[in-house]
Structure 1
Amino acid sequence: MKKTLSMTASLAIATTCALGMAFPAHAADTTGTTTATTVAGRSPQSPVDASGMDPQTKALIDRIQAELPADWVSRLSATRAKYGLDESSWSEIRESVINPGDSPCQRTELTTYADSLLVGIKHPAIIYNLQFYGGFDWAAFDALISGAESKSNAFGVNGEYTQKLTSEAKNLKRFWDIDSAGIQLVPMHGGDVLSSPERLGHVLSVMYGNPVEEPPREWAIGLAKTFIELIDSEPVLQGGANPIFTFNAFAYSETGDPEPLGISDRIVVGDGVLQGMAAVGLGDVAPKGILSHEFAHHVQFQKNLFASDLTGPEATRRTELMADAFGTYYLTHARGESLNAARLLKSEKSFYQVGDCSFTSSGHHGTPNQRFASSSWAAGVANDASNQGHILPSLKLDELFEAKLPDLVEPDAAG
């Protein structure tokens, strides 16, 4: 694979308890090159309608539009393609919050939780503008380009998942048959990024590019201050700490990329997704599921398991259901997490929570039922093995998965 990442197109709410979507960054073209996010039916070439805003908010929007480079849309599009930002099931859930509409999928506790994140918003147009300018990608992009593994890293709003995730990462590296020494585990904190003009300014300078006629740092930091002022004007956004900004987890790799950017292989886990899973009663098992799913993407990267005859949504669904299966195989294996029956059910529910029914989207990860089925099947593979101490080689597990895939997707054959 090339630069590959399991990431949201704009970020925020919905991936497998294992989450994330993986695709080549150069070919972030699993959905095609993104321009700017279309908001409320408006063209990405024109700013969001600010009519009805209070004068102070409208003034901020006008300043942002004036401070951006004239060609920011094409710059952002190029950046998305370069780094592999594209749609994922997280963004599908986020979109259902920002632009509500009928969903063909059954509701889950996680989507209900997501709906609550913007309750009480005073100015919906602020959300539309942030979406329009790529604001729900900022914290994730910071973790991608500036984050690094460190003993000082904390996972979760209060660091409550730090020990669990760092220990899990070590176990996963021992379990799978890949060269995993260089895979870093990196946190994503929205409040830290979206309250710092310097950190956000660095993100904006990369995402939008610097106008040649202005000093890069001055331009980027000035724009960041204006965006921070906009975020702070809406209390529901909690100064950038609202989980909607970090409701994501993703895996990134430049394995085999002829034009590497020099970013290390990594797994990024956002505070928001951990908060979401805790809110629906899965805070015990879901973090392990998230990490095991994202690590499975790295197995896919190194073993070239993204290659298949499938295309479009079916191709994405295959790789995501495979990551669910690989993740659950590890979680239930005697030499993995060896989950008991009660915790296994929670793990399977975690995958169910983030299914989607976007059958025509290249961000389609599989329906809740398909994700649950994939996870349940893998648990059976681990639990029914005659030699409980033997770990299947990843290519053998893939062989079994490919044979089972038609049965796994059959319950929701419309997808």
Structure 2
Amino acid sequence: MPDRTRFLGRTLAVAGAAVVALATAVPAAAATAPPTVDQDVAQLYQDVVDLYNGLPASALRGVDPLINSPIPRPGPRFKAAQDPIPGCTEGSLLTYANKLAAQLTPLENKAFAALSGLSQLYVQGVASDKSPQVFGTDGQYSSRATATIDKLRGFWDIESWNIQLVAWKGTDLGSQVKMAQTFSLGLAPAKVKGAAALATKVLYEVPALQGGRHPLLTLNAFSAPADSLGGKRVALGDGLLDTVNLLGFDDVSVESVVGHEYGHQVDFAHNNYPPNESSEMGPDAYGGYFVAHAKGFAWDARTQQEVTYLDASIGDCFHSHGTPDQRKAAGAWGEKQATSQGNPNRVIPSATMIDKFQKEYPKLMPPATDQSGAATLASAHS
């Protein structure tokens, strides 16, 4: 009769060895487990930080987005944070943007920060108007945007043929080709392909991003000078147009925002880079002059007023872009220059318009703000 005890003993011993082998294999398997969403977002954020750090020093010179986004994005800060202005209430557009941002979880906020920064670099440094541009989430603003930039090119006396108008679309984040082009602007070449794939992965694995259609991703516009990344351009965000429509400014949205951003091109053409709120309030004034002028859009008094209220909606309270009242006053001043001039068809030379506004600017600023700024400058140079 065979010795079954020894057979079972060997069998159990082998089984025991297999259990040990499996037990020791678990950590190795865990080490190759797919990364979590949190890990993906953290890695993407670092990739975008590295991208910004790898950009040329002049890449972002002069680029100042229309609003201070509530999303704390990677990249340099153009204006130092200050305490809010007492008694000031932010404009309705900023209030709405802050409300949207407050609904995000910390993970979502970090994903938005990385992808919003990435999408701005795409539209600034890669996108080109040589391909068809679609303005608005469904293309509903394309004809208005094109007509506005065409009219502006013939209105102001600056070199305009090379000022591009490009659409800022969150859905571009879903293209690995476009994201690879963007990361190639400043990320180490060996990391570009993986970073591009990760960007599109995060876009779809974080539901709050809505596949790139959440307004916060593109709730902005900006203008860039010739010597910045990508050269002269005006970028118009889908999220901004959607939000302005929601707030009731749809009938003046495209023309007003493009007119303002083109106003930055007027400043750039004359190397005018004011270190104060007039950097944003000046383009409000130039834009107001354009929409009210007989050779601009010749809008009536009611529509002109609506433009000034849109200007006010993007005012902030941090000595940055101008308060709602200041933005409104700057736009109204520009409109008045058009409606009160003796010859309604004469267009004031752009250099003259800049000088006129710089003389008006101190009158639009509360004395306390000027004194505070003067004290800050004095202490900085003492």
Normalised TM-score (structure 1):
0.71
| Amino acid of the structure 1 residue aligned with 2:233 | R
Partner of residue 124, structure 1: 106
| Amino acid of the structure 2 residue aligned with 1:367 | T
> 1:87 offset after TM fit, Å?
5.8
1:286–1:93 CA distance, 2 compared to 1 (3 A)? farther
| Amino acid of the structure 1 residue aligned with 2:300 | N
Partners in 1 of 2:288 and 2:169 — Cα distance? 27
Is 1:287 the equivalent of 2:254? Answer: yes
> 1:412 offset after TM fit, Å?
7.0
> 1:405 offset after TM fit, Å?
1.1
> 1:76 offset after TM fit, Å?
2.3
For structure 1, the residue ranges without an aligned partner over 5 or more in a row are 1-54, 97-101, 309-314
Is 1:198 the equivalent of 2:177? Answer: yes
For the residue of structure 2 that corresponds to 1:170, the secondary structure is: helix
> 1:291 offset after TM fit, Å?
0.6
> 1:143 offset after TM fit, Å?
1.4
Partner of residue 244, structure 1: 216
Partner of residue 198, structure 2: 226
> 1:398 offset after TM fit, Å?
2.0
Partners in 1 of 2:232 and 2:93 — Cα distance? 29
Partner of residue 328, structure 1: 288
Q: Which has the larger radius of gyration?
A: 2
Identity of aligned residues (%): 27
> 1:88 offset after TM fit, Å?
4.1
Is 1:178 the equivalent of 2:158? Answer: yes
Partners in 2 of 1:282 and 1:206 — Cα distance? 36
Partners in 2 of 1:143 and 1:404 — Cα distance? 34
1:301–1:224 CA distance, 2 compared to 1 (3 A)? same
1:343–1:209 CA distance, 2 compared to 1 (3 A)? farther
Partner of residue 298, structure 1: 265
Partners in 1 of 2:330 and 2:317 — Cα distance? 16
Partner of residue 84, structure 1: 60
Partners in 2 of 1:204 and 1:272 — Cα distance? 23
1:120–1:389 CA distance, 2 compared to 1 (3 A)? closer
1:220–1:381 CA distance, 2 compared to 1 (3 A)? same
CA contact (8 A) 1:117 1:242 kept: no
1:124–1:344 CA distance, 2 compared to 1 (3 A)? same
| Amino acid of the structure 2 residue aligned with 1:204 | F
Partners in 2 of 1:371 and 1:62 — Cα distance? 38
Partner of residue 10, structure 1: none
> 1:127 offset after TM fit, Å?
1.7
For structure 2, the residue ranges without an aligned partner over 5 or more in a row are 1-34, 74-82, 374-382
Partners in 1 of 2:322 and 2:43 — Cα distance? 41
Question: By percentage of residues, which structure has more helix?
Answer: 2
CA contact (8 A) 1:293 1:323 kept: yes
1:202–1:118 CA distance, 2 compared to 1 (3 A)? same
1:358–1:284 CA distance, 2 compared to 1 (3 A)? same
Partners in 2 of 1:95 and 1:73 — Cα distance? 12
> 1:290 offset after TM fit, Å?
0.9
| Amino acid of the structure 2 residue aligned with 1:156 | G
The farther-off stretch of 87-96 and 400-409 is 87-96
Q: Which has the higher contact order (CA 8 A, sep 6+)?
A: 1
Count residues in correspondence: 325
> 1:84 offset after TM fit, Å?
0.6
CA contact (8 A) 1:89 1:356 kept: no
Is 1:395 the equivalent of 2:354? Answer: no
The counterpart of 2:238, out of the listed 257, 261, 271, is 271
> 1:118 offset after TM fit, Å?
4.5
Partners in 2 of 1:279 and 1:349 — Cα distance? 14
> 1:283 offset after TM fit, Å?
1.2
Partners in 2 of 1:238 and 1:103 — Cα distance? 32
Encode CA deviations 1:225-244: one digit per residue, 9 max, x unaligned: 22332232222210122111
1:179–1:63 CA distance, 2 compared to 1 (3 A)? closer
Normalised TM-score (structure 2):
0.77
After the TM superposition, which residues 51-130 of structure 1 pair with which residues of structure 2 at under 5 Å, given as runs? 56-61=36-41, 64=44, 73=49, 76-79=52-55, 81-84=57-60, 88=65, 90-95=67-72, 104=85, 105-118=88-101, 121=104, 123-130=105-112
Is 1:338 the equivalent of 2:298? Answer: yes
The counterpart of 2:330, out of the listed 339, 357, 374, is 374
Partner of residue 16, structure 2: none
* CA RMSD across the alignment: 2.7
> 1:207 offset after TM fit, Å?
3.7
> 1:369 offset after TM fit, Å?
1.1
Partners in 1 of 2:299 and 2:56 — Cα distance? 38
| Amino acid of the structure 2 residue aligned with 1:190 | G
Partner of residue 409, structure 1: 365
